[in-house]
Amino acid sequence: MSCEKYKKMISDRLDGNLSPEAEKKLLEHVSGCQECRNYLEFQTYLKNELQEMPAADNSDEWWAGFENRLRDRLYQEEQEEKSSLFIWAWKHLGALAGSLAVIFLAIVIMLRLPARNDPEQLVATTMSYEETYLTLNQLMQKDENLAQKIGDELEKSVMEEINHSGLERINLENYDYYEQEINENTINNFQLENISLEDLR
Amino acid sequence: MEDERQLIRRAKNGDREAFMVLVKRYEKPIYQLIFRLTGNREDAADLTQETMLKAFKALKSFQEKSSFHTWLHRIAVNLSLNFLKKNRAQKNQLEYLDNRLNEETEFQAVSVADNWQASEELREKLEKALEELPLLFKTTFSLVVFQGMSHRQAAEVLGCSEGTVSWRVHESRKMLREKLKSFINQNKEF
Amino acid sequence: MKKIFMMTIIGFLLLGLSINVAEAQQGPPQGKANIRENLFTLRALRMTRALDLTEQQAAVIFPELNRAEKDKAELQKELAREIRELRAMLKDEKTPLEQYEARVARINELRAKLREREEAFEKFLFGQLTPVQKAKYIIFNVDFNANLMMRMRRAAETGQKIK
């Protein structure tokens, strides 16, 4: 194993992430390698220095002010959420009413249809697609513009559905910069760890 | 001290004061971490507030599969990295790796214990060297060395493997050594 | 694999539609025939996705789906014609009562046939589905019909777009 691999073991040892067997191997190597001994001493020293570095701290008054500002913001957010819920409900009242009307219509149709003894209770006797289409057709016969609009939208929806279902997409906007880095150093990691494991046997 | 799970449960039900108890427990280490990443007290204060706000809003969907500590740190790291991505140029990680392969590093055979004193100058150089670490390396290094997280905990926060954490910390240590090389060589007589 | 599956489905649907179009020479204007076809295609594609149909299931279900669509489209055309004539009759005060009776009976007969054809297809379909898929079909059906109604309502409001 090269010194580079032992230096990585030194780093892991400093983080408490080295197994006892690996540590034994490391210390055996260090006792005979000046370069690695110096590296171990330096990194141990550096770790102690870093941990003793003064933290960026603030006074108790500062923290009290921080907490008060946070409390205020939490309260504000809560109030904003309540009022936006109300606005959302108001805006969607139309859609909500429409959905309720559809459900009501479905119930009316269901009740008006002759009672069925079929134990399977097939869906066709309830929210009938064909009944819905019939209504749509009647509306479109009265209004050519409506027919055109619905026709255009249906074409778009069909194309969207085809695209959604069948095609792969590489979405560059979601490409994770950090995933790139992880993927690129995975080979490096693998080589380092693989060799370390072999040498530990 | 109230059990953390109870506090979380109360906070999930909208109890702001329960949440503030959690804030008091974590505000300082989170602030320290963010300060390490941003190098700026004002930004650290703002981002710490944002972290706590975001945590409060997202608490209902916190399933407690990881610890609150890990979860909160994850929010802090994500907010900080997003902030820094927008606000400053990133060093190209690949460029760094190419440079590493091409460099010949020479380390003077000098014993540490006798020759170095804790000095202001070293501390300043160390701060600068830390500041100059590529962002993701600095983040990983801060979580492990300054926040005292294990590789496993840091991996959970960062959403990467333990191996990646181990590698980044190792590389960070090598980078710090390189940046301090000239200072060390100058002081080898002492 | 998924691409081939989707292309097979689209192929099935287009084949079924070509039969429809050939027989709809005397039917409603081209625009409305397209709407019926597009609705059929959209419904079939969404149903495939909602029920997560396998290739084997699709291969069995789609020919029957096409046949059912062909029959139902004919019935809908005839029904639309009958309703048109019923409207005209109502405007004409001199229409004899027996004609109302006959037309209303005819319309009810067509509605019943439509219902029976839909049920027949669903009975066939349920024979091909797992219990979970049957449950998904019910939800899909309710949602699709609700979506259709919302689409109508919003298209009637200017400038609104429905997904």
B105-133, pLDDT tens digit by residue?
333 333 344 444 446 778 888 888 998 89
CA atoms within 13 A on the CB side of C5: 15
CB atoms within 10 A of CB B103: 10
Q: Is the pLDDT of residue B60 over 60?
A: yes
Residue A11 belongs to a domain? yes
* Same domain, yes or no: B60 and B103: no
Total structural domains in chain A? 2
- Nearest Cβ partner for A122 among C83, C122, C161: C122
pLDDT for res B101: 41
The verdict on a CB contact (< 8 Å) between A130 and C46 is no
Same domain, B104 and B182: yes
pLDDT for B70: 93
Name the neighbours of A, counting chains with at least 3 Cβ pairs within 8 A: B, C
Burial of C98 from C-beta contacts in 10 A (0-12 / 13-18 / 19+): exposed
In this prediction, residue A177 carries a pLDDT of: 40
CA distance C2 to A119: 37
pLDDT at residue B45 tops 60: yes
Q: What is the DSSP letter of B147?
A: S
Give the count of beta carbons closer than 10 Å to the beta carbon of residue A132.
Answer: 23
Residue A19 falls inside a structural domain: yes
State the Cα–Cα distance between residues A20 and A39, nearest whole angstrom.
20
Chains that touch C (3 or more CB pairs under 8 A): A
Q: What average pLDDT does range B34-58 have in this prediction? A: 93
**Is the model's pLDDT at B145 over the cut of 90?**
yes
Task: Quote the pLDDT of residue B97.
Answer: 44
Rounded CA-CA distance C133/C52 in Å is: 8
Report yes or no on A81 lying in a domain: yes
Q: Choose the final residue of a domain: B36, B65, B87.
A: B87
**DSSP string covering C74-98:** HHHHHHHHHHHHHHHHHH-TT--HH
Concatenating the DSSP letter of every residue in chain A gives --HHHHHHHHHHHHTT---HHHHHHHHHHHHH-HHHHHHHHHHHHHHHHHHHSPP----HHHHHHHHHHHHHHHHHHHHHHHHHHHHHHHHTHHHHHHHHHHHHHHHHHHHHSPP---TT--GGGSS-HHHHHHHHHHHHHH-HHHHHHHHHHHHHHHHHHHHHHH-----GGG--HHHHHHHHHHHHHHHHHHHHHHHH-
Contact call for B and A: 3+ CB–CB distances under 8 Å = yes
Largest Cα span, chain B: 63
Query: Is residue C43 within 8 angstroms of chain A, CB to CB?
Result: yes
Q: Do C and B touch, counting CB pairs below 8 Å (3 needed)?
A: no
Most confident of A127-131, B62-66, B70-74, C32-36: B70-74
Whether residue A48 is contained in a domain is answered as: yes
Domain parsing of chain C, residue ranges:
2-156
pLDDT at C9: 63
Dump the DSSP string for A73-122: HHHHHHHHHHHHHHHHHHHTHHHHHHHHHHHHHHHHHHHHSPP---TT--
Rounded-to-10 torsion of CA B140, B146, B151, B152: -100
Answer whether B11's CB lies under 8 Å from B22's CB: yes
Residues A74-126: tens digit of each pLDDT: 888 878 777 776 666 666 666 666 666 666 665 655 555 555 545 444 444 44
Average pLDDT of chain B to the nearest whole number: 81
How near does any CA of chain A get to the CA of B76, in Å?
15
C48 touches chain A (CB under 8 A): yes
- Read off the pLDDT band of B189 (50, 70, 90): very low
Amino acid at B164: T
Q: Can you say whether residue B143 is alpha, beta or left, with left for phi > 0 and alpha for psi between -120 and 50 degrees?
A: alpha
The pLDDT of B1-29, averaged and rounded, is: 90
Instruction: Enumerate the residues of chain C whose CB falls inside 8 A of the CB of residue A130.
Output: 72, 76, 114-115, 118
Q: What does the alpha-carbon distance between residue A159 and residue A152 come to, in Å, rounded to a whole number?
A: 11
Provide the mean pLDDT of chain A: 72
| The predicted structure's pLDDT at residue A111 | 57
Is residue A201 situated within a structural domain? no
Contact residues on chain C for A157, CB-CB shorter than 8 A: 38, 42, 163
Q: What is the pTM of this model?
A: 0.48
Query: Using CB atoms and an 8 Å cut-off, which of residues 96-125 of chain A contact chain C?
Result: 98-99, 101-103, 105-106, 120, 122-125
Give B-chain residues touching A43 at CB under 8 angstroms. Answer: 173, 177
Domain containing residue A66? 56-91
Which residue among B32, B53, B87 closes a domain?
A: B87
How far separated are the first and last CA of chain B, in Å rounded? Answer: 50
CB-nearest partner of B164 from A17, A47, A182: A182
The pLDDT value given to residue A88: 67
Give the count of beta carbons closer than 10 Å to the beta carbon of residue A97: 11
Residue C68, C-beta contacts closer than 8 angstroms, at least 6 positions apart: C117, C118, C120, C121
A181 pLDDT more than 90:
no
Q: Which residue has the higher pLDDT, A195 or A43?
A: A43
CATH at residue B180: 1.10.10.10
Number of domains in chain B: 2
pLDDT tens string B78-111: 999 999 888 764 444 444 444 444 443 333 333 3
The three-point CA angle C82-C88-C93 to 5° equals: 130
CA distance A124 to C123: 10
Is A136 part of any domain? no
With contact defined as beta carbons under 8 Å apart, do B36 and B146 qualify? yes
Chain A interface, best mutation among B101, B104, B112, by max A CB count within 10 A:
B112
Last residue of one domain, picked from the residues B64, B87, B110: B87
Q: What share of chain B is helix, strand, coil (3-state, %, to 5)?
A: 75, 0, 25
Q: Which residue of B has its CA nearest to A12?
A: B166
Choose among B106, B114, B121: nearest CA to B183.
B121
**Does any domain span residue A181?**
no
A181 touches chain B (CB under 8 A): yes
Residue B126 and residue B62 share a domain: no
Residue C143, pLDDT score:
85
What's residue A23's pLDDT? 92
Please report whether residue A169 resides in a domain: no
Q: What is the pLDDT along chain C (163 residues), one digit of tens a residue?
A: 555 566 666 666 655 554 443 343 333 444 555 789 889 989 999 999 899 888 888 888 998 999 999 999 999 999 999 999 999 888 888 888 888 888 999 999 999 999 999 999 999 999 899 988 999 998 888 888 888 888 877 777 654 444 4
* B15 or B184, which is more confident: B15
Residues A13 and A44 in one domain: yes
Domain membership of residue B148 as a residue range:
93-186
Give backbone dihedrals phi and psi of C157, rounded to 5 degrees, phi first. Answer: -90, 130
Statement to judge: residues B56 and B10 lie in one domain: yes
pLDDT for the residue B170: 95
Nearest to A16 by CA among B130, B70, B148: B148
Please report, for the domain that includes residue B78, its CATH number. 1.10.1740.10
pLDDT (0 to 100) of residue A136: 86
The two tokens of residue A39 are 């590296």
Q: What's the token pair of residue A21? A: 């067997």
pLDDT at residue C155 in the model: 73
Among A192-196, B178-182, C87-91, C151-155, which stretch is predicted with the lowest mean pLDDT? A192-196
